[in-house]
Amino acid sequence: MAVKSPRRLISEWRVMRVAAVPAPDSPGPLAGIRVIDTSNTFMAPYATLLMAQMGAEVIKVEEPGGDILRQVADTTGTGAGPVFLNTNQGKKSVVLDIRGDHDYAILTRLVADADVFVHNRPPAAARRLRVDYPSLGPGNPRLIHCGAFGYGSGGPYRDLPAYDDVIQAASGFAYVQTNGGEPQYVRSSVADKTSGLFVLAAILAALFERERSGLGQAVEVPMFEAMASFVLLEQQGGAVYDPPRGAPLYARTASVNRHPYRTADGMIAVMLYTDKHWQTFFRLIDRPALASDARFATMSARTAHTDALYGIVESELKARPTAEWLRLFGEHRIPATTVNSITDLLGDPHIAAVGLIKESRHPEVGRIRTPGLPVKFSRSKPPVVGPAPLLGQHNHLLDELGGGASG
């Protein structure tokens, strides 16, 4: 029998894939994609959450004790903590102790039939656990293998452990929050979640490339580099030139006077940015001459005098109540809003109108409300995903792969 060339094999594979492409009304643009996710906590699970919400089948492989995120803020004792419930909607949970040969063999069989494999171990740990690309890639030439961890494998930090706080500090993110004082962490796991979006983008790009080549590949997403690039985008300042032509940091965001402002009866956030915004604002506060002040007449000048400019905003907004400012800013198309608490956000009329918060019933804790996919597709309508799984809820998926897990 004649041996088929790689080009012909790829051509035939493409024909088969086209025949298998879901119909236009299929449940989500990622319908038919199977993801094996061995990661835990925030970063990669956020990426695979979005994939599940877009229609992918995500099989979450947990150790016998489960993802540590199950216990975070868990007041029920069920392993259904609120962050886990949000981060793992729509996924299937199987339990494998992949340190043992029996369960590792089951994992390799899962991976052999998958489109994407995700882990969050540093390179050396991934090699020890045999979840690196050289270990798993040969069994599935079409596999997109994604490692999502702290530091890139090409640098001296590659095997250091990392969590959100550490990366906020290392990447300069905590430094740019100083506001004239000590470095501060943002009160959100912003490094994890931002890096998770890089994970999603990288996996989708690799899947797109696979449609052309028919071949999988390894993808590496390090948090440190992801957040460093994220911070430097606007904070590099004059250091973008070589030699530097000014100090780092973006003057507008670094201003000590940049924050939500007090009004006569509450608080408001307003973003005055364009020439028209500022000219209108100066008229609203009966100080039109400021529009021709050399410090404030152009974008460049305003950036150089941000502290003084925002000091005027802070002083003037105290003169009128929030509702009046919102009305005036609304009439003149100046971006402004109230300052919402989390409770306010959950009750926001726009959030309700677009249906962002979904209700479902979890088998252990009852009725829950979780955020859905925030993007819309005109044709590939995503599915309504179920609640986060119980630990090992879908172990039946392993039966045909080796008689069940040993864990």
Judge whether 293 lies within some domain: yes
If pLDDT is split at 50, 70 and 90, which confidence band does 14 have? very low
**Count of domains forming the chain:** 2
Residues in Cβ contact with 248 at an 8 Å cutoff, skipping those fewer than 6 apart? 235, 236, 237, 238, 239
Q: pLDDT, tens digit, for every residue of 301-337? A: 999 999 999 999 999 999 999 999 999 999 999 999 9
pLDDT value at residue 5: 47
- pLDDT for residue 401: 83
pTM: 0.90
Residues β-bridged to residue 366: 362
Is the predicted pLDDT of residue 15 greater than 50, yes or no?
no
For residues 334 and 363, membership in a common domain is answered with no
Domain co-membership, 227 together with 373:
yes
Shared domain check, 142 and 290: no
Q: What is the pLDDT of residue 406?
A: 59
Question: Residue 26 — very low, low, confident or very high, per pLDDT cuts 50/70/90?
Answer: low
Given this model, what pLDDT does residue 239 score?
95
266 in a structural domain:
yes
CATH of the domain at 317: 3.30.1540.10
Are residue 192 and residue 120 in the same domain, yes or no? yes
Q: Would you place residue 22 in the very low, low, confident or very high pLDDT band (cuts 50, 70, 90)?
A: very low
Tell me: pLDDT of 61 over 70.
yes
* pLDDT at residue number 19: 42
Query: Using CA atoms, how far apart are residues 20 and 24, in angstroms rounded to an integer?
Result: 12
Element (H, E) at 255: none
Q: What is the pLDDT of residue 59?
A: 98
Which residue range(s) make up the domain with 221?
A: 32-231+359-402
pLDDT higher than threshold 60 for residue 13: no
CB 112 within 8 A of CB 135: no
